[in-house]
Amino acid sequence: MNWIAGLQNAIDYIENNLTEELDYTDIASKAFISPFYFQRVFGVLCNCTLGEYIRNRRLTLAGSELSSSDAKVIDVAFKYGYDSPESFSRAFTRFHGIAPSYAKMYGSKLKSFSRLSVKLILDGGNIMNYRIEKKDKIDIIVKKKSFSNDIEQNNKELPKYWDDCRNDHTIDSLYKYAAASGVFGGALIGVCADDTKKNEMTYAIGVEYNGTTITDELSVEQIPSYTWAIFESIGPMPTAFQNLLYKVYSEFFPTSVYHPCGNLDIEVYPNGNMQSPQYKCELWIPVEKNEQA
């Protein structure tokens, strides 16, 4: 199944089960990719998180049902996955701008969040700098933390984690163990790794390990041997990197002979002014060739 068909298959599964409990692992399996990659791809391409899409579609259908039938608010609330009428009322009011009881009145104005349909659109002839490289195992030294696989939540928590590591001097400690002439050239890295069994994501901030004795509360990890698609971002952070992510998932993978694998990716941040228009960083994604390639 190709990239676009897989994503559409997952969206169809969501739409057919909006009144049921939806598990992100089950949804991702319909696209034949990990929950980690599915949520990242979905967020980048659809301009909303997976959780936001499910919530907005349920509230859209709930509004339509209340305005066009004699259904009770409490029944509609439970039907679309809310634990209580109160939690449903708060979410409904935020989305539609009116309380559920008012939706039953003739002429009430409701909002609709339309169903997604995935299409591959030819748009411009953009140039993307990338390279494919095979790398042996890489030893890194990191400080890591477990996060939920919910990308919506991670978008709030990961920047704080970076700030915490700067403020408590973890990053200063990491640089003491950096392999200056290694694969990453002494750059700081962020490693996202999916743990499907625990339905969690581990995020690690670190450097390539130079092998010296560790005196800090850090851990040595090993990145497996992979073939990597390595993409270059040029411009001020975080805008340039966000634009890169969109291009990678909307332009590169849909038409490439490669697909992501390995349930992780690496962000490589060299020293420099991250707000400079010339700042360069990289995104490393492990890849395999498509079966038909």
Rounded to 5 degrees, φ, ψ at 103 are -65, -20
Structure confidence by residue, pLDDT tens digits, 28-45: 999 888 888 888 888 888
The pLDDT value given to residue 269: 96
Is 116 domain-assigned?
Answer: no
Query: Is 118 inside a domain boundary?
Result: no
- Report which of 144, 186, 194 is spatially closest to residue 164, judged by C-alpha positions: 144
On whether both 94 and 204 belong to a single domain, the answer is no
- In the chain, the number of structural domains is 2
- 3-class SS at 10? helix
Residue 110 within a domain: no
Query: Does some domain include residue 115?
Result: no
- How far apart (Å, rounded) are the C-alpha atoms in residues 198 and 149? 9
What pTM was estimated for this model as a whole? 0.83
Instruction: Return the pLDDT at 189.
Output: 97
The answer to the question of residue 114 being in a domain is: no
112 belongs to a structural domain: no
Which tokens hold the place of 122?
A: 């030819």
Q: In the prediction, which pLDDT does 127 show?
A: 65
Q: Do 132 and 227 form a contact (C-beta atoms < 8 A)?
A: yes
Q: What is the pLDDT of residue 171?
A: 95
187-197 pLDDT, tens per residue?
Answer: 999 999 887 66
What is the per-residue pLDDT across 232-241, written as a single tens digit (0 to 9) for each? 999 999 889 8
Identify the H or E element spanning 234: strand 226-234
Q: Domain range spanning residue 241?
A: 130-289
Residues of the chain with pLDDT under 50: 122
Q: Is residue 117 part of a domain?
A: no
User: What's the sign of the alpha-carbon dihedral 58, 64, 67, 69?
Assistant: negative
- Same domain, yes or no, for 97 and 195? no
Q: Are residues 174 and 226 in the same domain?
A: yes
CATH number at residue 209: 3.20.80.10
Q: What is the pLDDT of residue 120?
A: 59
Show Cβ contacts of residue 205 under 8 Å, excluding neighbours closer than 6 positions. 142, 143, 144, 161, 162, 165, 170, 171, 174, 188, 189, 190, 191
In a domain, 172, yes or no: yes
83 and 138, same domain (yes or no): no
Among residues 50, 84, 103, the one where a domain terminates is 103
Is residue 238 reached through a cis peptide bond, with omega within 30 degrees of 0 on the bond before it?
Answer: yes
